[in-house]
Structure 1
Amino acid sequence: MIRLIPTPFLLAAVLVLAVAQAPLAQSFDTRAEAAYVLDQTTDTVLLEKNADQPLPPASMSKLMTLYMAFEAIADGRLGVDDVLPVSQHCFEYRGSTMFLDPSDRVRVEDLLRGVVVLSGNDASCVLGEALSPDGTEAGFARMMTARAENLGMMSSTFINSNGWPAAGQRMSMHDLGVLADRLITDFPTFYPLFAEQRYEFDGRAPQNVRNRNPLLGLEIGADGLKTGHTQEAGYGLVGSAKQGDRRVIFAITGLETARARAEEAEKIINWAFRQFAERGVAKAGTRLAEAEVWMGERPFVGLSVKEDLSMLVPLTASRDIEAEVIYNGPVEAPITAGDEIAELVIRLGDLPETRAPLVADEDVARGGFASRLRVAAEVLVAKFLDNEGTGPEEGA
């Protein structure tokens, strides 16, 4: 326990936590042009390389189409058993397709698998036109851009539903990481689709029945999400893997070959799980510090975390974990146990700060006459001492 001494405006005192001599991780030198790696379990960013740079996303942009399709199913605008028509525009897409034609009417469930497993440009277009406010893929692309911004994806602009090369179609690896996180969190019922390794639609495309995600089936916990490749973008992958209670999400792009993409993705997963481990930092209710109280029946109140707090700790090298407890003080009484009155800020090497609210661990009632008289006397004495030190200077 450390007693904190507040300044008139902001208090900051350094703590060395119980996870002392916590190690500093070896950085990962990725070959990808841009990369973003997130430990979803602790919300810790493990790696950023050109992560906010808008780049051509290729088929990885289909994840946004899927997110909006899942939303439409969840709110009743679309049903998995609905059948949708295939327009001439969608039929004309080339590259990876389900080989749909304008005479088809296709179930939404088949289209979803066609996008996830087969990376069907035509299937993505059909879903987009069905959800578009004006029935066009361009109209849906404008919806995608607006919805992405609403989700906090500030570097994403869509021209089409599927990532077919188009001037201005851009996403950052950070945005793709945010989108993967939301897909996993918001749609747990649909997320298992991303782990499916094979899907055959109507016997039409025997050469296109396997999921292109190279990590599926490697028994490293990989269960999603989407590959991408164009000549402009290079080879990319938005991936996720779960081992034990931890889940890691990553997005990479700009690799030169499919093999390089597969190797880099597996290395990232192995690095993220083998170089870091989750460790407990503070137990709920354990007093970490005290904040000064103004006009209370007691001069200090204890501070603790509301819930058990853990953080991701690297497993090589050695360095202390440091933290600051910050609050505006002194805190005026009355105070109720559970009131959020401070913040714990934890730092470890180059990792992003971990922040957690600190709450009062007990009630502090407003002081009676004697307490207020004591405080008033302390204030008067402090002012007198300040004045003593600021008298006129001695003349020459």
Structure 2
Amino acid sequence: MKPVPTAVALLATVSLAATSSLAAVPPLETTAQVGFMQDMNSGAILFSKDPDRRMPPASLAKMMTVYVAFSLIKSGDLKLDTKFTMSPETWKKWHGQGSTMFIAAGEQVSVADLLSGIITLSGNDACIVLAEGIAGTEPAFVNLMNQQRQRLGMTNSNFGTANGWPDNGVTYVTARDLATLAEATIRDYPDLYKQFYSKPNFAWGKTMGGTNISQDNRDPILGKVPGADGLKTGHTDEAGYGFTGSAEQNGRRIVMVVAGFPSWGARASESISMMNWGFSSWRLKPLFAKGKRVDTAAVQGGSSSTVGLVAPSDLAVTVPLGMGGILGQKAGGDAPPMKVVYDGPIKAPIKAGQHIADLVVSPPGQAPQTLALVAESDVGEAGFFGRIWASIKALFSWI
């Protein structure tokens, strides 16, 4: 969920007590040229190394191909059992080109199997068959990819192919944008993500001797890091070895993007080490329980002049392991500086649960972490006399 604009109203700081016992941000070294790691629970950036550098995504672009398909499945416009046919032209172009699912010319493949071929096997052929089946042509499908990119706020990326094949720089991404895409996939389509992104292997096609061709998932942290369940690797000579991964442990989820590794082995070993570092060197500290009122916001033109701002879920801040004190509102605990921000006064009507404000938490030595706050209750529009009375009060407030 994107932060509410903060240009107009800054409420009083909720808690001004600075943490007295600081813990240094734990160091992390990597040979990756680019890196970005974020805690999905709090939005905290745990690691950042040139995250806005434009780079070729290689097969990491397939994450957007899958995202488009997931969106159509959720909307009911695409069925998992729908079958698409590998055309002779597409087979001729993509047979044996990089990673493949080994789809035969003229073969019909279900959307479910194509998704497994893309996610688990990184099949370039599967991407094109899916793209052409959905949109008629690959360029038409790429338009859908870029529409979703814009909607997600991936402002420093562009897609020119459905499978990330080198295209002279038309396709480019950043680590930060790939993290946005990964988080959106997990958040928007949790059931489909769970169904497809953690398969250890997948079989499709047959050898010349008639044996089934089974390939292992290329995800380097799957089965190696507790809770690992996605997402995608990528490699070309131009891009080097890259990986976007995610894992969840004890309700805490981390998303990581790394790129530019010099070898497959470096990508595998360092991805495991980095994800373990993210879980072992940081921890969540509770701030507010779900439904807890954090503050109130002014309302314009409403049946009430204020509305409560509450936590939509258990809110927590990510801090380095070893930071002392109990953050939040518990007795004896130290809290980092926090402020509630919203664009206000907020115009009625307002619906309960509507995202109308943010809690911005600033742990010492870290970038601010922004957590959503929602309306505690409905606020309807004021009646005729209520609007007149509000106008009179506003007039005298300036005298």
TM-score higher than 0.5: yes
8 Å Cα contact 2:317-2:369 kept in structure 1 = no
The answer to whether structure 1 residue 273 and structure 2 residue 279 are counterparts is yes
Q: Which runs of 5 or more structure 2 residues have no equivalent in the other structure?
A: 1-8, 299-305, 325-333, 346-352, 378-396
- Number of equivalent positions: 346
- 1:195-274 aligned at under 5 Å gives the runs 195-204=198-207, 209-274=215-280
8 Å Cα contact 2:221-2:268 kept in structure 1 = yes
Q: How big is the alpha-carbon RMSD for the aligned residues of Structure 1 and Structure 2? A: 3.8
* 1:312 corresponding residue in structure 2: 318
The answer to whether structure 1 residue 106 and structure 2 residue 109 are counterparts is yes
Post-superposition offset of 1:311: 1.1
Post-superposition offset of 1:357: 4.9
Whole-angstrom CA distance in 2 between matches of 1:179 and 1:302: 33
- 1:32-111 aligned at under 5 Å gives the runs 32-91=32-91, 92-93=93-94, 94-111=97-114
Calculate the TM-score normalised by the size of structure 2: 0.74
Whole-angstrom CA distance in 1 between matches of 2:119 and 2:355: 44
* 1:333 corresponding residue in structure 2: none
Post-superposition offset of 1:203: 2.6
* 1:23 corresponding residue in structure 2: 23
8 Å Cα contact 1:26-1:316 kept in structure 2 = no
Post-superposition offset of 1:321: 2.3
Whole-angstrom CA distance in 2 between matches of 1:339 and 1:239: 31
Calculate the TM-score normalised by the size of structure 1: 0.75
8 Å Cα contact 2:114-2:126 kept in structure 1 = yes
Query: Rg bigger for which structure?
Result: 1
Say which SS state the counterpart of residue 285 (structure 2) adopts: strand
Q: Which runs of 5 or more structure 1 residues have no equivalent in the other structure?
A: 1-8, 293-300, 331-337, 362-378, 384-396
CA shift in 2, pair 1:323/1:121, >3 Å: same
Post-superposition offset of 1:102: 2.4
Q: Deviations over 1:64-114 (max 9, x none)?
A: 111111122222322211111112343122111112232212122211111
* 1:193 corresponding residue in structure 2: 196
8 Å Cα contact 1:45-1:352 kept in structure 2 = no
Whole-angstrom CA distance in 2 between matches of 1:360 and 1:162: 44
Paired AA for residue 280 in structure 1: P
8 Å Cα contact 2:88-2:106 kept in structure 1 = no
Whole-angstrom CA distance in 2 between matches of 1:339 and 1:106: 42
Post-superposition offset of 1:355: 4.9
8 Å Cα contact 1:235-1:253 kept in structure 2 = yes
* 2:149 corresponding residue in structure 1: 148
CA shift in 2, pair 1:154/1:203, >3 Å: same
8 Å Cα contact 1:97-1:119 kept in structure 2 = yes
8 Å Cα contact 2:42-2:370 kept in structure 1 = no
Q: Deviations over 1:43-75 (max 9, x none)?
A: 222222221222100001001111111122222
8 Å Cα contact 1:13-1:326 kept in structure 2 = no
The one of 171, 179, 191 aligned to 1:169: 171
Post-superposition offset of 1:169: 1.1
8 Å Cα contact 2:101-2:205 kept in structure 1 = no
Whole-angstrom CA distance in 2 between matches of 1:162 and 1:100: 15
- 1:108-123 aligned at under 5 Å gives the runs 108-123=111-126
* 2:381 corresponding residue in structure 1: none
Which moved further from structure 2: 96-105 or 201-210? 201-210
Identity of aligned residues (%): 37
Which moved further from structure 2: 79-88 or 19-28? 19-28
CA shift in 2, pair 1:277/1:90, >3 Å: same
Post-superposition offset of 1:358: 9.5
* 1:376 corresponding residue in structure 2: none
CA shift in 2, pair 1:85/1:249, >3 Å: same
Whole-angstrom CA distance in 2 between matches of 1:98 and 1:154: 32
